[in-house]
Structures are given as structure tokens and as C-alpha cells.
Structure 1
């Protein structure tokens, strides 16, 4: 059964710009799914349509349905979507830099009334992310990029979500930290049973951990399938994985790259 379903969703900004065009995707219960594509393809917009964060950017779902656990959630505001089990880690981490890691975690617990439960969750996050425990007295603004990303994910997990929306978790990180972050994402999915919808430009890293993926271009889904199917596709290899046959497009005056996405 699908935990999250988007059916023919369209998103418009400022009542004019059509950013997402008839997108349909599914995230299975306890599944791990990636949205791949270049900058401006509409990946982050899809996540915001699920979490309800389009309005501050003057965006609106104008068509289609977004269902979570079989219930349409388009009428729900963001806090109600969090209470249902959807949490969104935005691009750029956005931790509270003047607070310590523990205080950042505590800031995400307004939905929990039981103090003992909150304390257990914080201890669990420090166990899951030992580097945060080591830096527990430091202000979050002094943490490294990788540590801030861990804190952003840990803060999201404090809401005990069923679905974790992750937007570019590898952005700006060194390769060894990218590996560590993706290992953490895999552990969250496997050990806690949290479904993950992952937006990522680093297709090579994403396809190593997800079960399935969707490729977006200019607001449309142009290819979908298992991670192995996408990894072996020659166009994916050429455009996103650094492989395939290289063509000198500048030598061709009116060349328009042939697409084989749907072949």
C-alpha cells in the first residue's frame, strides 16, 4: 500500500508560472524513493506541495490530488500535516544557530506533552547521531555542515514521522560526509521504518540507497522505475552519472539532444 500518492498534480506560482505539470508519484509504506533532476526541474516544489509550504512562496496546487494514508491532505495546513506524520527537512539545513543541538531538538517537540517522552526522544537522537552528543554544548552555528545536516534530520525525527521529506541533504558537503549522511538515511529507513522521499542532485549517491526513483525535467516526470533500472539507463548515465558516450554538442550548430527517457 502506498503511504503517499500524488495523482496528476500541477503547481502554479504567482497564478502564472506552471512549475509542476501533471506529476504522479507513489511512496510505499516504509519505502525509500528519490526525485532526481537538474536545478529548476520542480523537485523542491513537489516536496513543498506535500508538506504544505507552498503558500509562503505564492505557490498553489491547482490540479490533482495528494493523499497520505489514503486521505486527501490538500486542505490541511502544515502543522496538521506534521501531526499526521509528514516532516520536511528543507534545503540548506536551517538550524537555529544560536541554540545548542539539544535546544534545537527541544524546539521540535511542541506536539508532545509528555516531558519524559521528550527526554527519551532527545536521548534517542543523541544515540543515533553520536557526533551531536559530542558537540552538545556548542552553538549550532559553530557545527560543521555535515553536523548541521545531521541536526536538521534529528530535529525532524523528534516529531516521530511516518514520512521524511529530505531536500538536497548532500548539498555543500565533502564526499566522505555525503557517504555518512546517506548511511544515516538508510538506517533511519531500515531501523525506524520511516518512509523517505529524497530530493537529490547527486544521482549517483541517491541511487545507491533508494529502492526506486523518478526523474523530472521541466516539471514533468520523464522516467521512473527501480534504482537499478535508472542506474543502467544510458541517458541517465550520460546526464547524471558521468558515464555514457560523450558528444561535442558545440560542434553541431543546431543540435538538439535526442531523448530516450521513455524508450
Structure 2
């Protein structure tokens, strides 16, 4: 199986001192949909930024391992060069230009690629996935609902025609119905465009419903990796993520701690 993305034993250090992720290895198959799960502060966002090249702006650097995209080592490339290769990251927190309309946001994001005809084609495609955005295309983006802003953030990423779409906590702060709608659209984008998708989520229930495989990261290490249905049925994941843990973290669950020793 060809892989769009391969992270091989990545180590990331911030400020030459703090070891944020410790030997993380992940594979996203070409045209595949994979989730990176974990609690807050586990290292999920850092992993994404090591792929998109956004670590440097936060004084982070990869000190070991390699990041390969479509067979090419991209560890030394600037973020904009990674975008040109086909990597797009939707940052956490729905970052859109609030003073611009959805239309203007999409046009601004298309500067990376092609001419006017291509921009219009890409914009029409975004609106076909997100008809709600088309209805609100002339409103100021700051007046959109949280769900609509998230759709716009994804639409902006799609304007760069990515081969790999990475999303950081797209469900954060959204109602379950909106999350289900957005995840359905992501599944459609994956199926219809053959786009590889890496989904970073705390919401394991929603994520494991749409992906084929998942990785569980804790304290900067991958502690589990399996097919989505296997992870969904795993008693530890069920207890800590799928209800029944009453907000407790993985480390509070003895059964999980025991198993983690074996995994290590």
C-alpha cells in the first residue's frame, strides 16, 4: 500500500529544552482516512505542526526521525512549500478572516494556486460540499455560527487543492448534530476526491465513526494503533473515551496502565 504520509520515529523539542513528542510513527495511506486521538496536551497538535512545518514559528524543531510526503522527505521544507506540495492544515479554533465574507475568505486562500478560472472551479467545489456557506456567502464571516466558521476553515484549506488534509480538533465546541454533518462531508471529500485525511480529535466517538484506522497518543508517545472498529471495541478506549470514565484520564485506569507497560 502506498502511503501519502509517513512519520518515522519523530522527536520534537521546544526551546531546545522541552521534549514534546518522543518517537512518534504514523502512516496515512494514499486516499485513506486516519485519526490521531488523545487527551489535551498529549502531543496531537505538535504532531500535525511537524507535518505542516508550523513548528518553527513556535520555537519547536524536529530533532530526530523523518517526515515523508508522497515519498519525499519534507523535514527541511518551509510551510508554504509544503502547501504547494499538497499539504493543508485546518488549525484549531476556526481561524477565518472575520471581517471578510465567506466568498472573500475563499478567494484569499486561493492565492497559492492557478488563475481565476481555477479559483472559481475550486470555489464552486467548496460550495457543493458546503451549501450552507453558499447561502451565507455575502455575510461577514464573524457573524457565521461556529459550525459555519468551521466549514469555512475547511473550505479555505480545500482552495489550495490539497492531497493531504489535516484537521486539528474540528469538533471542538460544536453541537453533536453539526459535528456529524461536518464529519459526513469529510467522508464525502475523502471518497469523491480520493483525498487523504488526518483527523486530530479528542472526540473519539465521532472520529472512529469515519476513519479506517486510529492512533492513540499519550504523553508524546503512540500507545495504541489499530483499525477503527478494534479501537472502538477496546475496553480501555471505551472506558476513557466512549463514556463510563466520568472525565477521568487514561492514567487513572489501572487496566490501561497495565496494558501500557506491555505496549512499551
Alignment partners' CA distance in 2, 1:168 and 1:256: 24
1:182-221 deviation per Cα after TM superposition (whole angstroms, max 9, x unaligned): 1111111111111000000000000000000000110000
RMSD: 1.7
Q: Is 1:67 the equivalent of 2:64? A: no
Distance 1:93 1:256 in 2: 33
Give the whole-Å Cα distance in 2 for the aligned partners of 1:54 and 1:223. 25
The farther-off stretch of 225-234 and 112-121 is 112-121
The whole-number CA distance in structure 2 between the counterparts of 1:113 and 1:232 is 45
The 2-side partners of 1:221 and 1:120 are apart by 39
> TM-score with structure 1 length normalisation?
0.94
Structure 1 unaligned segments of length 5 or more: list them.
Answer: 250-254
Which runs of structure 2 are paired with 1:82-121 in the superposition (5 Å)? 82-121=83-122
How much does 1:14 deviate? 0.8
Paired with 1:34 and 1:98, the residues of 2 have a C-alpha distance of 32
CA distance in 1, matches of 2:114, 2:30: 27
1:257 and 2:258 matched: no
Q: Could you tell me the TM-score, scaled by structure 2's length?
A: 0.94
> Any runs of at least 4 consecutive aligned residues in structure 1 with deviations exceeding 4 A, and if so which?
none
Q: Tell me, yes or no, if structure 1 residue 228 matches structure 2 residue 225.
A: no
* Structure 2: runs of 5 or more not aligned: none
1-structure distance, mates of 2:25, 2:121 = 38
User: What pairs with 1:200-215 in structure 2 (closer than 5 Å)?
Assistant: 200-215=201-216
1: CA distance, partners of 2:122 / 2:136? 17
Q: CA deviation at 1:119?
A: 1.2
Question: Does residue 1:135 correspond to 2:136, yes or no?
Answer: yes
Structure-to-structure mapping, 1:28-177, within 5 angstroms? 28-177=29-178
C-alpha distance in structure 1 between counterparts of 2:222 and 2:159, whole Å = 32
- Deviations 1:206-243 (CA, angstroms, capped at 9, x unpaired): 00000000001100000001001111111001111114
Q: Higher helix fraction: Structure 1 or Structure 2?
A: 2
What residue is the counterpart of 1:199 in the other structure? 200
